[in-house]
């Protein structure tokens, strides 16, 4: 591989990885606070993209209006899900909550098939995301850079919220011990709702940028990113925001590089990518940035 080809593949990998990362940080944050693997996260990604589609196609709104509205609507859906499906189960064993999350995911997917229809929809990119940039022999489209920058900004913002604000402090407290936190006079329902709202907003942002990169919407489009983001979160050490970012980037770059190095085996890239993942987890079970957790009994 020439240096230019390497750079081209690296950029493609980083851009794909940033999308994984953006979705993974929301995933990992919800897990970190509630110990809930929110399987519906991928479907919120899908919803975010569809809201933009309808905003543009039906209401003819410009992108700077539709993007925030789409994020807001998805956040609302996320809050409704948390209030109706997860909150009533909070005091039951985790496995119930997990099953509820899978149920919500199927519900959203099938509702989307009925409401949005099974045929794919075309997502039209705003002009500023569609211009080509040439650096030497490396060709990039402007969305590549925007995706990377957005991922970094959102990740930094999230870390700031978690580490530097009162809400973040409450979140960290809840992740340590829910009951003691509530004894300290913190409204845990309020905080958990905020966590879900932030997670859903991140999913929506990821969904919109996913649709910008792959402008084809279908009701099951959230499955693949959701799964990949979950894997990225585990790879980075689930519960750790920086870890999810690194895990996402790593997954994206490895996927692209494997195909670039072995083009004839391209169709089997997932098999190789996940063989590597299993190996990594065998040697480092808590992921790249994960800490060993003491069992609480």
Partner 1 sequence: MLDQSNIFVHLAAGHNSPRPKQFKKERIMKLSKLCLVACMMVLVAGLIAGCTTPQATTQAPAQGADQQPPETKPAEVVIGVYEPMTGAQAAGGAQTYQGIQLAAEQNKEVLGVPIKVVLVDNRSDKTESATAMTRLIQQEKAIVVIGSYGSSNSMAGGEVSEKAGIPVIGDSPTNPLVTEGKQFYFRVCFIDPFQGRVMAKYAKENGIQKVAIIKNISQDYSVGLSAFFRTSWKELYGSEDGIVAETSYQDGDQDFTAQLGAIKDADAIYAPGYYGDAALLMKQAREMGFTGLFMGSDAWEAPELGQIAGAAAEGAVISSHYSADAATSPDSKAFVDAFRAKFNETPNTFAALGYDAFNLALDAIKRANSFDPKAIRDAIAATKDYPGVTGSITINETGDAVKDAVILQVENGAFKYLTTVKP
Enumerate binding residues for partner 1 (CB under 8 A).
5, 8-9, 12-13, 16, 34-35, 37, 84-85, 88, 90-95, 98, 107, 110-111, 113-115, 118-124, 132, 139, 141, 177-179, 213-216, 218-220, 223-224, 255-260, 263-264, 266-270, 293, 295-297
Residue with smaller CB distance to partner 1, 101 or 198: 101
Residue (107 or 194) nearer to partner 1, CB? 107
Cβ closest to partner 1, residue 91 vs residue 165: 91
Q: Are 118 and 218 in contact (CB under 8 A)?
A: yes
- Alpha-carbon distance of 179 to 198, in angstroms, equals 22
Residue 117 has a CB neighbour count (10 Å cut-off) of: 11
Minimum separation from the CB atom of position 156 to partner 1 (A):
25
Quote the CA–CA distance of 219 and 131 in Å, as a whole number: 28
For the CB of residue 22, give the shortest distance to partner 1 in the complex, in Å: 15
Residues 6+ apart with CB under 8 A from 266: 259
Nearer Cβ to partner 1 (62/285): 285
Q: Looking at beta carbons only, is 34 or 231 nearer to partner 1?
A: 34
For the bound state, the minimum distance from the C-beta of residue 49 to partner 1, rounded and expressed in Å, comes to 12
- Minimum Å gap between C-beta 270 and partner 1 is 7
Task: Name the minimum Å distance from CB 169 to partner 1.
Answer: 18
d(CA 146, CA 144): 6
**For the purposes of burial, counting CB atoms within 10 Å of the CB of 114, is it exposed (0-12), middle (13-18) or buried (19 or more)?**
exposed
> What distance in Å separates the CA atoms of residue 199 and residue 249, rounded to the nearest whole number?
19
CA distances 148 to 17, 25, 139, 154, 257, Å, are: 9, 14, 16, 10, 18
């Amino acid at each position: 591989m020439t240096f230019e080809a390497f750079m081209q593949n690296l950029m493609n990998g980083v851009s794909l990885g940033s999308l994984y990362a953006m979705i993974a940080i929301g995933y990992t944050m919800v897990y970190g606070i509630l110990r809930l693997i929110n399987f519906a996260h991928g479907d919120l990604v899908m919803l975010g993209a569809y809201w933009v589609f309808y905003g543009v196609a039906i209401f003819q709104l410009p992108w700077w209006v539709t993007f925030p509205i789409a994020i807001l609507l998805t956040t609302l859906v996320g809050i409704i899900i948390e209030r109706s499906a997860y909150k009533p189960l909070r005091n039951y064993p985790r496995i119930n909550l997990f099953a509820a999350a899978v149920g919500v995911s199927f519900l959203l997917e099938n509702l989307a098939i009925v409401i949005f229809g099974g045929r794919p929809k075309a997502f039209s990119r705003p002009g500023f995301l569609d211009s080509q940039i040439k650096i030497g022999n490396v060709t990039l489209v402007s969305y590549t850079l925007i995706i990377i920058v957005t991922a970094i900004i959102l990740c930094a913002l999230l870390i700031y919220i978690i580490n530097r604000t009162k809400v973040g402090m409450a979140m960290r407290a809840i992740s340590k011990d829910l009951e003691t936190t509530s004894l300290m006079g913190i409204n845990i329902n309020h905080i958990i709702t905020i966590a879900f709202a932030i997670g859903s907003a991140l999913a929506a942002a990821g969904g919109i940028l996913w649709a910008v990169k792959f402008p084809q919407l279908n009701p099951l489009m959230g499955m693949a990113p959701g799964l990949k983001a979950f894997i990225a979160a585990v790879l980075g050490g689930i519960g750790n925001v920086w870890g999810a970012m690194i895990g996402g980037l790593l997954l994206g770059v490895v996927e692209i590089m494997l195909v670039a190095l072995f083009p004839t085996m391209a169709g089997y890239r997932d098999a190789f990518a996940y063989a590597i993942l299993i190996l990594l987890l065998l040697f480092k079970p808590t992921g790249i940035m994960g800490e060993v957790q003491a069992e609480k009994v």
